[in-house]
Amino acid sequence: MGKLISNYLFTVVYQLLIVITPFITTPYVSRVLKPEGVGTDAYVLSIVQLFIVFAALSIPIYGSRQIATKLDQNERSKEFWSIYCVQLSISLLTTLCYVIFIFTVADNKMLFFIHIFTLIATTIDISWYFIGMEQIKSITMRNILIRVVSIILIFTLVKSIEDLSLYILINASTLFMGQLIMWIPLLKVVSFKRTTFRDIKVHIAPIISLFLPQIMIQVYILVNKIVLGHVSGKVEVGYYNQADKVIRIALGFITSLGSVLLPRMAKEFALGNIDSMKKYINYALQFVLMITLPMTLGLMAISSNFVTWFLGNEFKTVINLLNIMSPVIFFVGLANIFGIQILVSTNQNNKYAVSITIGALLSLIANILLVSYMASTATTIALLVAEASGAMIQMYFARKYFELKTFSKMFTKYFCLSILVYFSVSVAGSIINVSPFLLTFIQLFIAAVVYLAGLIVVKDSIVFMIFNKLNNKLVIRGR
């Protein structure tokens, strides 16, 4: 359990590094690029990400799962090169198609050209190997420097909406460098193995079976955004994108848990240790409920004040979008447990695909029906519909791996504490008269104190486990 916690913390840092640059720079960029520039960037990137989906396939999930099940280093090396050959071939083909696409577009051609760096970064991304090995510390530390350089360049060089192409170049090129430096530690442990078509062929079918739900995910993440831009304009896309950015920061804590536990769950399933799997699932469910529920309600409580200083007055529409979108944090947390850690790790890819497909179709229908009247609000509702329906279906499919009664008790406990946090933060926001920036941090402090106190009062097992470990370490050092 200790290694899982350590890997989780480093994976959190790694996932946050991917989104930390836009988060830190968003207050500045929102004011410099204006809604028009932010919307154009979001619209172009949504199209680019469709190509990225095809370039990456489902290899990040599949690759980490396969590497985790190989105990011998020679087998791991052979497995890595055979999987990477699939990734390289598909990525190069996708990049070629992307270049052809660029010559067919009339608008934003230069921005699309710059994003070639983004596609190449996907081509050389081998982080799945380290995730499968449960070794994330080294690549995390290497990427910190790259992200810091990116932040400095944005604040130094991006001065107006005319610098939009430069802003995109900084993000794309630093992403590329971050992926490239991962090869340094990789080549120290992975020896080159000759790979035949037979070695590659065995991976194609399972990769495609996991790829299909990834395509469906993009229906409500990217296609809905493209529909929004086409019907309501790029400014509405900018509003939606800014709300989505905030939510993605919170989701970094959730997706990190899935990245860490998937290899461990796949290994336990391969060894037939079902009881051990259930133990990890119970811990994971408790942890997800403990952090997603207060995040969801806490974000609703601070959204009005937070958006005011973080994005600026031009983005007040985002307040309503955040309130609607916040429950996505909770449902993605559930989907990460039931979908990734249970269905995928136990090779129930078909059930996983069905849940994602149903959610995506419901999302697309909701967006098409509402977007003409509600603009970005409609796309936000469509996202919530997709995540909620997908998570509930996955929960049903995974029902034999957890006890519903235990889950209900945990949910009730953390939900009640989160309601207490919501009212405490809301009251603080209405009676404390300070600057919006300072008020947000006061609200976060109050939320943390109230929630921690509540966890202590109800004698939460995770909190007391952490306290006991810290106490034991202090006792050992005192000796």
Using left for φ > 0, alpha for ψ between -120 and 50, and beta otherwise, residue 57 falls in: left
Question: What was the pLDDT predicted at 339?
Answer: 86
Q: How many domains does the chain have?
A: 1
Using the CB atoms, write b or e for 435-447: b if 16+ within 10 Å: eeeebbeebeebb
CA dist list (Å): 351 to 205, 343, 347: 16, 7, 9
- In contact, 332 and 387? CB cutoff 8 Å: yes
Q: Is the dihedral of CA 411, 416, 417, 419 positive or negative?
A: positive
End-to-end CA distance of the chain: 25
Question: What was the pLDDT predicted at 71?
Answer: 67
Per DSSP, the three-state class of 115 is: coil
Residue 468 CB neighbour total at 10 angstroms? 10
Locus of tokens 């509402």: 370
Spatial distance between the Cα atoms of 76 and 377, rounded to a whole number of angstroms: 47
Spatial distance between the Cα atoms of 156 and 134, rounded to a whole number of angstroms: 37
Per DSSP, the three-state class of 359 is: helix
Domain holding 129, by residue range, is 2-478
Q: What is the dihedral of CA 236, 249, 207, 54, to 10 degrees?
A: 30
Two structure tokens written together for 239: 């509003």
pTM of the entire structure?
A: 0.73
- In contact, 121 and 172? CB cutoff 8 Å: yes
Q: Is the dihedral of CA 328, 334, 338, 344 positive or negative?
A: positive
pLDDT means over runs of 10, the chain (479 residues): 56 61 72 82 84 84 78 82 91 93 85 92 88 71 78 88 89 88 86 83 82 74 80 84 82 65 62 73 85 92 86 83 93 88 81 89 90 90 93 92 89 94 91 87 91 90 72 58
Two structure tokens written together for 389: 């329906």
Spatial distance between the Cα atoms of 277 and 279, rounded to a whole number of angstroms: 5
Spatial distance between the Cα atoms of 250 and 245, rounded to a whole number of angstroms: 9
CA dist list (Å): 214 to 53, 221, 252, 356, 443: 7, 10, 18, 8, 37
Two structure tokens written together for 409: 């008790």
Report which of 462, 11, 6 is spatially closest to residue 257, judged by C-alpha positions.
11
